[in-house]
Amino acid sequence: MSPMFVPGPVDVSPDVLQQQTKAMMPHRSKDFEAIFQRSAEKLKQIFYTQYRIFIMTNSGSGAQESAIRNLSKERVLNCVNGSFAKRWYDVSIANGKLADKIEVPMGQAILPGMVEEALKKEKYDLITIVHNETSTGVENPVKEIAEVVQRVSPDTLIAVDAVSSLGGTKIEMDAWGLDVLFTSSQKCLALPPGIAMIAVNDRAMARAAEVPYRGWYFDYLLLEKHRVKDSTPMTPAMSLIYALDFQIDRMLAEGLDNRFARHSGMAKYSQEWATKKGWALFAPEGYRSQTITVVVNPPTFDCAEFNKFIAPRNLRLANGYGDMKGKTFRIAHMAEIQMNDLENLLSSIDEFMLGK
């Protein structure tokens, strides 16, 4: 496998890819329902939850939309500190919700005090937070923010997007008091794109029951009606679920704590490497992602040029996202990436810069 240091779709192990070639079967059959049931059950370990997990046939953005459609009756507060958090605000507006945002510049974190202030000014039935902002490499202090929400406004539900961190970083849904937590397949779970997994607690289900016009495809009540029969209302992406079932076993065999330590070890290594070179990290200390390190471009570094340089080595690095393109570069050290892959990439950057 040739490692791509991009934040999804990531490299998928060949034996996981192979699972997708298994024969189809009726999705409403005992055999498929068994695979679906055990995949959802095993996922609970990775989400640190006792609640239900819906496996949805859509990408992470669909999970964002589902939270807005099901959980907000009146007014939603979107925490915005990067492109994906901004997308969630756009989703709120597109669904006709009254939405306010707490907004900080790209590269900054949302702090608990900001949330406290906003919740004291206005009543919100839902707050949305992106745990790991893939566009900037900032990890928001979700546990501390959740504590504030529970203290200041206990009826406000907390929905967390962990699309680029869940499975690479420990996020304890139940212990932290998160109501909804989701990821999609193509990032830390190291699967091809196409499915999202969303954990929804009982409080969130009770809210959904009170919200009219939740739509159909993302309706949590409809999904639940079928989930209890180990099924889905619509035809699921069965090949991906074969791969998911297999991949969760691989992840559990690695050991979740070992997996988290592998990711945090690579984050530390990348941060120290950049700092030693005098290159600035985009995220402030204390709020740095464990799965993606974002570095401010030194004047002589051009990501596109570097990717041409490393193409023969079958490596690939991610440019800055959106407005940050050409201003930062992103080292995604997630999923199947190992420390020796990372060392190889960083020494290639060192080599590339020798001639500069």
Q: Which is nearer to ligand PLP, 271 or 289 (CB)?
A: 289
Distance, CA of 96 to CA of 46 (rounded, Å): 33
* In the complex, minimum distance from the CB of residue 297 to ligand PLP, in angstroms, rounded to a whole number: 20
* In the complex, minimum distance from the CB of residue 10 to ligand PLP, in angstroms, rounded to a whole number: 11
* In the complex, minimum distance from the CB of residue 111 to ligand PLP, in angstroms, rounded to a whole number: 19
Q: Is-contact 339 266, C-beta < 8 A?
A: yes
Six-digit token string for 228: 């209890």
| Paired residues of 15 in beta bridges | none
Q: Which is nearer to ligand PLP, 13 or 59 (CB)?
A: 59
Binding of ligand PLP at residue 291 (CB under 6 A)?
no
Binding of ligand PLP at residue 164 (CB under 6 A)?
yes
Binding span for ligand PLP by CB under 6 A among 159-167, 198-206, 215-223, 230-238: 159-167
Nearest to 166 by CA among 256, 35, 284: 256
Nearest to 91 by CA among 126, 120, 118: 126
Q: Which is nearer to ligand PLP, 60 or 320 (CB)?
A: 60
DSSP-assigned states of every residue in 248-287: HHHHHHH-HHHHHHHHHHHHHHHHHHHHHHTPPBSSPTTS
Q: Which of 3, 4, 5, 8 binds ligand PLP (CB under 6 A)?
A: 8
| Residues 113-142, interacting with ligand PLP (CB under 6 A) | 130, 134
Nearest to 167 by CA among 250, 84, 78, 259: 259
Q: Which residues touch 26 (CB under 8 Å, ≥6 apart)?
A: 32
Separation in Å, CA 226 to CA 65, 138, 148, 344, 346 = 20, 37, 35, 47, 47
Q: Which residue number places its CB atom closest to ligand PLP?
A: 60
> Which residue has 């989400």 as its token pair?
47
Q: Which is nearer to ligand PLP, 60 or 137 (CB)?
A: 60
* In the complex, minimum distance from the CB of residue 194 to ligand PLP, in angstroms, rounded to a whole number: 9
Q: Which of 19, 72, 92, 184 binds ligand PLP (CB under 6 A)?
A: 184
Q: Which is nearer to ligand PLP, 56 or 153 (CB)?
A: 56
Q: Which is nearer to ligand PLP, 84 or 218 (CB)?
A: 84
* In the complex, minimum distance from the CB of residue 350 to ligand PLP, in angstroms, rounded to a whole number: 28
* In the complex, minimum distance from the CB of residue 58 to ligand PLP, in angstroms, rounded to a whole number: 8
| Residues 18-77, interacting with ligand PLP (CB under 6 A) | 59-61
Q: What share of the chain is helix, strand, coil (3-state, %, to 5)?
A: 45, 15, 40
- How many residues bind ligand PLP (CB under 6 A)? The answer is 11
Amino acid in the structure at residue 298: P
Interacting residues toward ligand PLP by CB under 6 A: 8, 59-61, 84, 130, 134, 161, 163-164, 184
